[in-house]
Structure formats: structure tokens, C-alpha cells
Structure 1
Amino acid sequence: MNIENTRGRHRAPGRHNPLIELKLLARESAQPAMKAGAVVAATGGLVATFANPASADTLKPASGNVAAAASADSAAPAAVGPATAAAPAASSALSKIGFAPEAQQAVAQRVSTSKPEVIEDVQVQAQRAAAKAAAVKAAAERKAAAARASRDLTRRTLTSSTSSAKASFNGSVPGASAGMRASSNWATAGQCTWGALNKWYQSEGYYPGGWTGNAMAWASGARSAGYTVSTAPRTRSIIVLQPGVAGSSSVGHVGWVTAVNGNQVTMIEMNATAGAYNYDTRTVTLSGGMSFIYAP
């Protein structure tokens, strides 16, 4: 007679093996929690199986203590086994190494909401402001010194270039007196008068003033303003040409004298051969109708 060994509850009589049953239950469980419950249940069954023979025979009726036997039967548990505990919650790999999402989120919020506090040093700011002001002042002083040096060089060059001419042409050049000054170039831009005043400023550092009018009236106007006016040519002076003299127009012409060689006078002039707003250099022969406004 062949006896079929069927797995599970429907097994053949006499074929039950508790250890094989445990292995089958553990292998067939898909989740860790189900495995733990199966093992616990199976373990309780095993304990009950092995415990029942030891406790089956308690008190015999011959002992005469029927009440004790009844109380022992009522107090004995039907099955002995450990209590089934709740399945543990599934844990993540990060929680096993101490990662707590709530704590990390709280730290991130504190870091994101906190703002750096900038503390300004008033003393350092004052020192920086003072250093900047000193640098600006030093730059302005250097610029002014360079302008003065340029004017002095121009003055020395113009004076030395005609020293021999002064001795041969005119043994006595009158001293120059200082006249009135202007705050800006008051002549019409692009004209010969504007060009002559601009050259005066580049040489002397200020604009002469105290008179107005066309070029032919400059000699008398400068004399009235306190300047020395002479017919003897000299460097560092404005040459005044009356109408028609050396090609001047009907309103006269002016220029800045840069050299004198005998009766040859070299000047820089604007609005002449080069046109308005442009300078050119020209040498003319000394003649009547010419006068010179000396710079002090």
C-alpha cells in the first residue's frame, strides 16, 4: 500500500515531522513579517506538542483530592507557546545607518532661514574715506604742478628764443605791467581773438580781460585795462594787426607771438590760412599798423 505524503494540513498519518514543517513554512513566506509570524506560530505548536504528554496526567481520582485536580485542569492552558508579537515595521537602509529624515529636514530649514549678519567697522570706513580723499587731492596737485611746469617751460623757451633778437633789433623793450583778468575765454569760439586768448592762457595760466570788441580795437582796449602795449615786438605777447596789414580782414587780426628775429615776427594764429577753429604758424615782416600786448 502506497501512502502519499501530501504537504500542508492534508498529510498522511504518521508522516508529520515538526522540523520539516518549520522549513517549509519559512521558505514559502514572501515577506519578512510573514516569515516571523509563521515561525512563531510553528514554534508554539511544537512546544504544545512536546508539553502535552508531560502535563496530561495530573491528579488521579485515587488520590482523593478531586478539587485540586479540577482547579489544576481549569488553570492549565490549552496550549503552551510564546505570545505572538506584532510584526516589526519595515526599515529602510538609511535608517539602519542613523539617517533621520525629520531631523535632516529641520536642520536644512534652520540653515536656509538663517542670514549672515554683516558688521561694519566704522573706523575702517572712515580710514578708507580719508585715504580716498587724500588720493584725489594728491592727483589734483600733481595735475596742477604739471600744468605750471608746462607753462614755465613754454615761457622760458619763448623768452630765450628771442633774446638775441631783442638786443639787435630793439635795445630797450619796456617792462610789462599786469592788467585785469577774466575767468574764461570771452571771445567768439573759432575766431582769431579766441585763439589768441587761448594761447595766452596756455602760457600764463589765466585769461586777460577788461576790454571787448574786434581785433583792431584790442591795442587800445588792453592799454585801458592796465596792460603794456608797444610797437616793439616781443615773445609772450599778442600781435594786433590793423585792417589790411599782412593780409588781415576789415576788422583786423590778432595772433600769439612765438619768435622774433630782427624784423621778422613769427606768430600762431587761428582762423587765418587754416580756417576757423584751426591754428597755423606764419611769419610776417614788421611794419606800421602792428602793435603788441605784453604778458607780464
Structure 2
Amino acid sequence: MNNEIIRGRHRAPGRHNPLNELKLLARETAQPAMKGAAFVAATGGLVASFANPASAEPLSASTAGAAAVGPTAGAVPAASTALAKIGYAPAAQKATTQPAAAPKPQVIEDIQVKTERAAAKAAAAKAAAEKAAAERKAAAERASRDLTRRTLTATTSIKSSSNGAVPGASSGMRSAYNWATEGQCTWGALAKWHASEGYYPGGWTGNAMEWASGAANAGYTVTGTPRARSILVMQPGVHGSSNVGHVAWVTGVDGNQVHIIEMNALAGPYNYNTRTLTDGPGMKYIYAP
């Protein structure tokens, strides 16, 4: 009988040594790729043979058979389950069971935009305050003019010593500004007209002595009868007028006594003073409507 020695995984009972088997498989495999596959398969069997005693539960028949061939997909969960029994949880499992909290959003404030918005808001508030102040001032001026007109009408005689009722007044041309020479009697008379009526009369120019004819041509009522709320025009020499004449604003009339306020007379340029004059020749009155 010829006894042949057949190399392989055949072994005598009770003489199995996993390390010797690994060496034998690695040496007898000709191709590198086959060496790697054989080594992995044998390693799986080795791991399975060592893992079984460490486990708290015996391996089933199906599991043992798979371990003899190589590592299976169930090998990793089995090890994980065994470690979990003593309180260890892998990092991947912790990340799955305890997801990280979402980061809170951070608000980045734009200082330049904030500054520009604050400046725009302040400018709008300032403009609104200025507008309100202008409206209050305009209302106060209207109220003052109305009070002046009511006072003058109630306290002033509408008759002179020589004739009957004062004729009606017509509206003439208007100006957007005080067109007379500043500081002179003409400028002062127009300023008082504006303070009483809210606008400047216009449509004529020239020295004070020419104002009666100029105002008549501009559409205003011009008469020799004194009346409050009118401009008194005096010819040269009348009540001390200069060689170019003189004008004043009439504040009241008492018979033939005319109460006026005038600039550049007794008080000099830019300054007002008051006088009471007796109506007479060389005196005309431009009525405010």
C-alpha cells in the first residue's frame, strides 16, 4: 500500500494549530492576489475561533460554519453587541443616537448701513420739525395780520373832516419781494404793508413823490381821503419831506389827524418812529384792498 502525503487542510484530530495553518497557506499560494485572499479567509477563521470564547453567547451552527470560511457581514455587529453589553458605544453609534445640535445663526451687523439709516432718520425728523415750525410761524403771522386789520378797522374813523365816506379799494399788481431801497422810507412802508396784508404791492417804481401816480397805474385806489391800512404819499416839503418826497404807513385816522409809522425820518435809516400829522394839501393815500 502506497501512502501518499497530501498537502492541504487535512490534519490529525486534536492537532490543529491556526498559526501553522496560516503559514502553510501563505507559502503554498503561488499568486499574490490568491495569497491575499487566502490570508484574509484564514484570518477570518482565526478571528472567529478566538471570538467565540470571548462572547457571552455561544455561536450558532450557521455562524460557526461561516467563520470557518472567512469574515462575514455579521461579524462586526456581533463584536459591537458584545462590547455594548459592558457599556461601550462606538463613536459612530454615538453620533447616530445623539446628533450634534445645529449651530445657532450669527447676525452680523453692518455698521455703515446702520449709521446711514440713523442719519436718514434724523434728517427726516429734522425736516418734519422745520416744516411744522414754518407752518406754525405762517399761521401766527396770518393771525397777527388779521388781528391788526380788525383792530385798525374798529378803532379808526372812516371819515375825514372835509368829506364823506371813504371810497372802496381795488386790488392792484403784486410783487414777490420788497423792491424798494433797504433802510429808506419806501422800504419801510412796503414792509408794513406786507406785515398787514401778507404780500407786497408792485407795478411801479421811482421816488416817494411818484408813488401816488404809479400805484394808480398799477390798479390800486389812490385818493385824498385818509384811511387806516394805507400808504401816505407826501410831496417834497410837506411835513418836513425831502426833495424826493416821503411815504409812511397809516395806522389810524381821527378826523383830520393821521397816525403814521415811518422809516428814515426822525429816527434815521432802518429805524421806525411814529407821528401824528394833520391831513392837508400834498398828501395822497394808497389803499390796501
TM class by shorter-chain length? Answer: 0.5 to 0.7
Q: Identify which of 141, 144, 155 aligns with 1:150.
A: 144
CA distance in 2, matches of 1:125, 1:174: 59
Tell me how far 1:186 sits from its aligned partner: 1.1
SS of equivalent residue, structure 1 residue 235: coil
Give 1:172's aligned amino acid. A
Q: In structure 1, which of residues 185, 194, 197 is the aligned counterpart of residue 190 of structure 2?
A: 197
Aligned position for 2:202: 209
What is the DSSP-based 3-state SS (H/G/I as helix, E as strand, rest coil) of the residue aligned with 2:147? Answer: helix
1:243 alignment counterpart: 236
- Deviation string, structure 1 residues 173-198 (Cα, Å, up to 9, x no partner): 11111111112111112211111111
Seen in structure 2, the aligned counterparts of structure 1 residues 127 and 275 have a Cα distance that, compared at 3 Å, is: closer
Aligned positions of 1:120-135 closer than 5 A: 120=114, 130-135=124-129
1:265 aligns to 2:266 (yes or no): no
Structure 1 residues 168 and 246: CA distance shift in structure 2, 3 A: closer
Unaligned stretches of 5+ residues in structure 2: 1-107
8 Å CA contact 2:203–2:218 kept in 1: the answer is yes
TM score, norm. by length of structure 1 = 0.56
Q: In the alignment, which residue of structure 2 is the partner of 1:234?
A: 227
The verdict on how the C-alpha distance between 1:137 and 1:213 changes in structure 2, with shifts beyond 3 A counting, is same
CA distance change for structure 1 residues 273 and 287 in 2, over 3 Å: closer, same or farther?
same
In the TM superposition, 1:169-180 aligns within 5 A as: 169=161, 170-180=163-173
- In the superposition, relative to structure 1, how do residues 131 and 267 fare at CA in structure 2: closer, same or farther (>3 Å)? same
Partner of 1:256: 249
Q: How does 1:1-296 map to 2 (within 5 A)?
A: 118=111, 120=114, 130-162=124-156, 165-167=157-159, 169=161, 170-296=163-289
Give the CA deviation at 1:128.
Answer: 5.7
- Match of residue 77 from structure 2: none
Distance in 2, matches of 1:150 and 1:241, equals: 28
Figure out how many residues of one structure are paired with residues of the other and give that number.
180
Aligned AA (2:151): T
String of CA shifts for 1:73-122, please: whole Å, max 9, x gaps.
Answer: xxxxxxxxxxxxxxxxxxxxxxxxxxxxxxxxxxxxxxxxxx98647399
Deviation (angstroms), 1:136: 2.5
Once the two structures are TM-superposed, the CA of residue 203 in structure 1 deviates from its matched residue by 0.9
Shift in CA distance, 123/242, structure 1 to aligned 2, threshold 3 Å: closer
Give TM-score, length-normalised by structure 2: 0.57
Kept in 1: contact 2:159–2:166 (CA 8 A): no
Cα deviation for residue 130 of structure 1 reads: 4.6
Distance 1:203 1:244 in 2: 28
Q: What is the Cα deviation at residue 140 of structure 1?
A: 1.5
For 1:40-83, what per-residue CA distance to the aligned partner results, in whole angstroms no more than 9, with x for missing partners?
Answer: xxxxxxxxxxxxxxxxxxxxxxxxxxxxxxxxxxxxxxxxxxxx
Report the Cα distance in structure 2 between the residues aligned to 1:121 and 1:291, rounded to whole angstroms.
Answer: 64
Which shows bigger deviation, 254-263 or 148-157? Answer: 148-157
Q: Find the residue that maps to 2:158 and give its secondary structure.
A: helix
Alpha carbons of 1:167 and 1:284: their partners in 2 closer, same or farther (altered >3 Å)?
A: closer
1:131–1:231 distance in 2 versus 1, CA, 3 Å: same
Q: Which amino acid aligns with 1:136?
A: E
Q: Name the SS of the counterpart of 2:141 in structure 1.
A: helix
Matching residue's letter, 1:166: I
1:161 shift after superposition: 1.5
Q: Match of 2:52?
A: none
Q: CA deviation at 1:134?
A: 2.9
**Structure 1 unaligned blocks of 5 or more:** 1-114
Q: 1:189-217: CA deviations, max 9, x gaps? A: 22111111111111111111110111111
Distance 1:286 1:167 in 2: 12
Counterpart amino acid of 2:272?
Y
Question: RMSD of the alignment, in Å?
Answer: 2.4
CA distance in 1 between counterparts of 2:182 and 2:125 reads 40
Question: 1:123 deviation in Å?
Answer: 8.1
